[in-house]
């Protein structure tokens, strides 16, 4: 019965020229779960060798905001969840400071497997893994992005500009407004940068309300 109603509605949409129907919100989560399961044993780059668990990403499948980090560290590699170690604790606090919970945003990374000794992911590793992140973005369709650290920012914005330059202005990634701030791990090593990070977060929060409420 329900199927018949849905079929009729789809036919109406088709007749009126609408050829693509996006899945309802609940299906986004299912799709992300399916993809995470599909890639679990990915061997597309060298990082597969040292991996315990692939860290696909987590959060609200219909998030307005997507947070993008660099790649898993030791705790993430063991648990399969992004940003759960010391840097993750700080990220959670940074989000709370701008009245956001981890559950309402979506948290992902440039590479999904831990680089040995937490070195930066190599260009070929970033390139191999990027399609997975682009796929996540296309499913979630976030309206605002926050890049945590240089690796995320330089990879996605295809630039070699430094943190000082990148923090100064708003960027666009695939037409989505994007902000850059220090990686929480960098803030743990350099607490004197926290002041700047706080200023970045304030600007980010303001822009969030503006985009969300159209004010």
Closer to ligand URA by Cβ: residue 84 or 144 = 84
Which listed range, 107-115, 134-142, 152-160, 164-172, lies at the site for ligand SF4 (CB under 6 A)? Answer: 107-115
What DSSP string runs through 139-197?
HH--SEEEEESHHHHHHHHT----HHHHHTS-EEETTEEEEEE--HHHHHH-GGGHHHH
Residues within the interface to ligand URA (CB under 6 A) = 55, 69-73, 76, 82-83, 87-88, 109, 185
By C-beta, is 47 or 87 nearer to ligand URA?
A: 87
User: Which residue in the set 112, 139, 152, 155 belongs to the binding site for ligand SF4 (CB under 6 A)?
Assistant: 112
Place of tokens 């004197």: 192
Smallest gap from residue 83 Cβ to ligand URA (A): 4
Other CB atoms within 10 Å distance of the CB of residue 105:
20
Residues 127-186 that bind ligand SF4 (CB under 6 A): 128-129
Across the strands, what pairs with 148? Answer: 181
Cα–Cα dist 76/86, whole Å: 10
Instruction: Report the SS3 class of residue 1.
Output: coil
Dist. CA 56–CA 35, nearest whole Å = 9
The interface partner of residue 77, options being ligand URA, ligand SF4, none and the CB cut-off 5 to 8 Å by kind, is none
The residue from 28, 32, 36, 45 that contacts ligand SF4 (CB under 6 A) is 45
Residue closest to ligand URA, measured at CB:
69
Mark the segment that binds ligand SF4 (CB under 6 A) among 28-36, 44-52, 154-162, 174-182: 44-52
Please say which residue, 59 or 69, places its beta carbon nearer to ligand URA.
Answer: 69
5 HSE (CA, 13 A, CB side): 2
Report if residue 54 touches ligand SF4, rule: CB under 6 A.
yes
Q: Look up residue 57 and give its two tokens.
A: 């990403």
45 binds, options ligand URA, ligand SF4, none, Cβ within 5 to 8 A by partner type: ligand SF4
Q: What is the DSSP string of 22-47?
A: PPPHHHHHHHHHHHHHHHTT--SSGG
Positions in the binding site for ligand SF4 (CB under 6 A): 39, 42, 44-45, 47-48, 54, 111-113, 125, 128-129
């Amino acid at each position: 019965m329900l199927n018949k109603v849905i079929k009729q509605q789809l036919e109406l949409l088709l007749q009126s020229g609408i050829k693509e129907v996006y899945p309802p919100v609940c299906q986004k989560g299912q799709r992300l779960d399916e993809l995470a399961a599909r890639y679990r044993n990915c061997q597309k780059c060298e990082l597969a060798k040292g991996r315990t668990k692939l860290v696909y990403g987590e959060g609200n499948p219909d998030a307005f905001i997507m947070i993008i980090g660099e790649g898993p560290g030791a705790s993430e590699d063991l648990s399969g969840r992004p940003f759960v170690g010391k840097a993750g604790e700080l990220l959670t606090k940074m989000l709370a400071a701008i009245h956001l919970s981890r559950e309402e945003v979506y948290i992902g990374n440039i590479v999904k497997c831990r680089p040995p000794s937490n070195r930066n992911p190599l260009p070929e590793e970033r390139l191999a893994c990027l399609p997975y992140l682009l796929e996540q973005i296309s499913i979630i369709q976030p309206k605002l992005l926050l890049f945590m650290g240089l690796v995320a920012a330089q990879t996605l914005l295809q630039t070699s500009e430094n943190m000082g330059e990148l923090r100064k202005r708003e960027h666009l990634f695939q037409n989505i407004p994007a902000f850059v701030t220090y990686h929480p791990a960098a803030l743990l090593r350099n607490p004197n940068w926290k002041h700047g990070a706080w200023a970045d977060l304030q600007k980010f929060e303001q822009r969030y309300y503006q985009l969300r409420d159209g004010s």
